[in-house]
Amino acid sequence: MSLAYQIRDGHLLWIRNPFTGVTSYAVELRAKSFAYTLRQHHHRTEHAAQGGDDPRRLQIALEECPFCPGHEDRSPAEILRLSPAEVAQWQGTQMLPDAPWVVRAFNNLFPRIPGELTAGRNESYVIVEDARHFLDNPRSVHDLLYTGALGEAHFAAVVGVAARLVERAMSNPAVGSVVVRKNQGPESGASQPHVHQQVIGSPSILPALEIEMRAQREHPNLWNEMVELARELKLIVEEGDGVVSYVNPAGTFPQSYDVVAPGFFGALSDLTSEQLRTFAGALHRVLSFLGPLPLDYEIHQGEGLPLHAHINVRLFPYSNVAGTLNIPRHLPEIAARIRRQINGEDK
Ligand SMILES: [Zn+2]
Ligand SMILES: [Zn+2]
């Protein structure tokens, strides 16, 4: 399936996801309230406003967390760590002056795919992105550190660790493909409050990648068409140095973003350190705009595919009705808002 969509008077009416066939209809959502969709999120904000938690509750959360410093023995053996000296401008030195590490990686205690299927090796990994559990001056157990709050160089270091794990998983001949996956917030499937992401090696080509690879073979220009359409609809967030990010009207969720390196067909681990910083930087700027909102992202890589990331935000209600979604008609305004923030024009 190639790109199918309809534009009238410069506005997108509908677009079909070229991989899944799901059709998104652009509708007016500005007046709609999201209090119900984001109930949990709102609840937290309200809770903090009401004076927050007893400090003891915050202490208990740290004591219970298997990802906090001092609890290294609660996870499988460490594969690698980055020390504070290895993470440029780490912002946690005041909160954790004696942190033994900033980033840590180990096998997932609960592998996504059973190790028996990848020659007996567990190819599911966890990256703890920061030693800090909470944001500065937390008032509630819900004031958690989130990925968009990390410094840009720090986030690039985290993506660098993901690249090393991708390489490690790919060195297993029983692994067919590897995905980097982030769940932010319980609404998106995160099971641990401490900021972390995953790298998952699969014995076969992962289904989402298989569909994309097939579409790519049939329509080699598909990604360029997506970028051109984003340009026409004023949905580009940033473009330059071989990486483009845009609001994707045909994403999996009603608010989705793509970060694509249209001319780079390798894996995350094939990027030079400069290319990795460019790619991670573009991803980080979208994440920092989205802040603590519940979201997920995946970095996709596969034979013939341009390296890319999908970010799916749980803001507008997700309701798939017989293969159709509603997307907000004002996506170009959202793209303009993030461009202004990136350019420092507003906060
Ligand atoms: Zn923790
Ligand atoms: Zn993809």
CATH number of the domain residue 53 falls in: 3.30.428.10
> Is residue 56 domain-shared with residue 8, that is, in the same domain?
no
Q: Which ligand has the nearest atom to the CA of 69?
A: 1
CA 65 – ligand 1 centroid, Å: 5
Rounded CA separation 326/338 (Å):
21
- Please indicate, yes or no, whether residues 257 and 344 belong to a single structural domain of this protein: yes
Are residues 165 and 298 both part of a single domain? no
Please tell me the distance between residue 66's alpha carbon and the centre of ligand 1 in angstroms: 6
Instruction: Measure 42 CA to ligand 2 centroid, in angstroms.
Output: 31
**181: in domain:** no
Do 49 and 22 belong together in one domain?
Answer: no
Q: What's the CA-to-centroid distance between 186 and ligand 2, angstroms?
A: 23
- Asked if residue 233 and residue 345 are part of one domain, the reply reads yes
Contact 246, 236 (CB under 8 A): yes
Distance CA 249, CA 251 (A): 6
In the reported structure, the alpha carbon of residue 73 is separated from the centroid of ligand 1 by a whole-number distance in angstroms of 13
Q: Sort strands 295-300 and 177-184 into parallel, antiparallel or unpaired.
A: antiparallel
Phi, psi at residue 144, to the nearest 5°? -85, 150
Number of domains in the chain: 2
* Ligand 1: centre distance to CA 6 (Å): 47
Question: What's the CA-to-centroid distance between 209 and ligand 2, angstroms?
Answer: 6
The reply to whether 148 falls in a domain is: yes
Tell how far the Cα of 21 is from the centroid of ligand 1, in angstroms. Answer: 40
Q: Is the distance from CB of 145 to CB of 136 less than 8 angstroms?
A: no
Counting ligands in written order, which one lies closest to the CA of residue 259? 2
The pLDDT score that the predictor gives to residue 41 is 63
Q: Fill in the DSSP letter of residue 74.
A: G
| Rounded Cα gap, residues 35 and 32, in angstroms | 9
Residue 182 in domain? no
What is the pLDDT at residue 45?
67
Question: Each residue's pLDDT tens digit in the chain (347 positions)?
Answer: 589 999 999 999 999 999 999 999 999 887 776 666 666 666 666 666 677 788 999 999 999 999 999 999 999 999 999 999 999 999 999 999 999 999 999 999 999 999 999 999 999 999 999 999 999 999 999 999 999 999 999 999 999 999 999 999 999 999 999 999 999 988 888 889 999 999 999 999 999 999 999 999 999 999 999 999 999 999 999 999 999 999 999 999 999 999 999 999 999 999 999 999 999 999 999 999 999 999 999 999 999 999 999 999 998 888 899 999 999 999 999 999 999 999 998 65
What's the gap in Å between 194 CA and the centre of ligand 1?
5
What domain range is 151 assigned to? 36-175+189-197
Closest to 158 in 3D by CA, of 280, 30, 59: 280
Nearest listed ligand to the Cα of residue 141: 1
Separation of CA 132 and ligand 2 centre (Å): 30
**220 lies in some domain:** yes
Q: Does a structural domain hold residue 264? A: yes
Q: Indicate whether 183 belongs to any domain.
A: no
Do 125 and 75 share a structural domain?
yes
Order across the sheet with 308-313: list the strands.
78-82, 103-107, 124-128, 196-202, 177-184, 295-300, 308-313, 255-260, 243-248, 236-240
Which of 166, 197, 228 finishes a domain? 197
Residue 184 lies in a domain: no
Q: 128 and 54 share a domain?
A: yes
Asked whether residue 73 is domain-assigned, the answer is: yes
User: Can you tell me the distance from the alpha carbon of 330 to that of 28, in angstroms, rounded to the nearest whole number?
Assistant: 7
**Rounded CA separation 154/150 (Å):** 6
The torsion angle over the Cα atoms of residues 236, 334, 183 and 79, rounded to 10 degrees, is 40
